[in-house]
Amino acid sequence: MLLCDIEGTTTSIAFVYETLFPYAAQAAEAFLAAHGDNPEVALACARIHQDATAEESQLGGLATVLAVVRRQMAGDVKATGLKQLQGLIWRHGYETGAIHGHVYADVPEVFRAAQSVGVAIFSSGSILAQQLLFRYSSAGDLTTLIRAYFDTTSGAKEQAASYHGIAKHLGLSTAAIIFATDRPAEAEAALSAGCTACLIMRPGNPPLPALQRCTIYPDLRSIVN
């Protein structure tokens, strides 16, 4: 199974930080005002409320949610409630054509070539956000090439236990999983779990520290070739 990270691996970091995050930040207030009664939105808001500080809680209602969202987005916090809300906001953006998901040119090619072993995604973004990016990608709908999606509800990407859980869910041994990411700490966690791991060094990705245990590739093609 080819298990892929998104940001910096299938998709440019610039797209995430210059398109997706600003869109969610700008649209959050109006989206919550219009869709706050939606059960999916209400569930995300309830989880966001759990992350509120005492001061934020005193604001009450949607004001508390917005305060937490703005604080967490400013700090790039990987909180489940925030990620769920961002996914819902992005769904609106994708469905209205305001945004389109970026994928590198090799991604569709590699996903098709890896169908014999299967492709899955593990990202800190919500499962909904992952599905939307690949459904509304610049290369067309790629969701038919992806067997499973995993997010922070499966655990942190820097913890080996997360990869054991993913393997169990897929009905595989960890040795049957190749994890591709741009983050050394995530690769180390996958290695500790018994997976094969490789690091992807795309243009614009942060420099990698020296003496990595994992093979470093410029894209995903070398993994399946």
Q: What is the CATH number of the domain that holds 70?
A: 1.10.720
Q: Pick from 39, 44, 7: which is nearest to 28 by CA? A: 44
Would you give the end-to-end CA distance of the chain in angstroms? Answer: 14
Number of domains present in the structure of the chain = 2
pTM for the model: 0.84
What's the pLDDT at 225?
A: 73
What's the pLDDT at 126?
A: 83
What's the pLDDT at 218?
A: 94
Do 53 and 130 sit in the same domain of this protein?
no
What's the pLDDT at 106?
A: 97
3-state secondary structure the chain: CEEECCECCCECHHHHHHHHHHHHHHHHHHHHHHHCCCHHHHHHHHHHHHCCCHHHHCCCHHHHHHHHHHHHHHCCCCCHHHHHHHHHHHHHHHHCCCCCECCCCHHHHHHHHCCCCCEEEECCCCHHHHHHHHHCECCECCHHHCCEEECHHHCCCCCHHHHHHHHHHHCCCHHHCEEEECCHHHHHHHHHHCCEEEEECCCCCCCCCCCCCCEEECCCHHHHC
Do 31 and 116 sit in the same domain of this protein?
no
Do 118 and 71 sit in the same domain of this protein?
no
Contacts of residue 65, defined as CB under 8 A and 6 or more positions apart, other chains included, come to: 32, 45, 48, 49, 85
Q: Which residue's structure tokens are 């990595």?
A: 212
Mean pLDDT by 10 residues, the chain (225 residues): 97 92 92 91 93 91 91 88 91 92 96 96 90 94 97 93 98 97 96 96 90 90 85
Domain interval for residue 217 = 2-12+101-224
- Domain finish residue from 39, 71, 95: 95
What's the pLDDT at 200?
A: 96
Do 112 and 204 sit in the same domain of this protein?
yes
C-alpha neighbours within 13 Å on the C-beta side of residue 94:
23
What's the pLDDT at 185?
A: 95
Do 211 and 133 sit in the same domain of this protein?
yes
Contacts of residue 121, defined as CB under 8 A and 6 or more positions apart, other chains included, come to: 3, 4, 5, 6, 10, 130, 134, 146, 148, 149, 150
- Domain finish residue from 76, 95, 114: 95
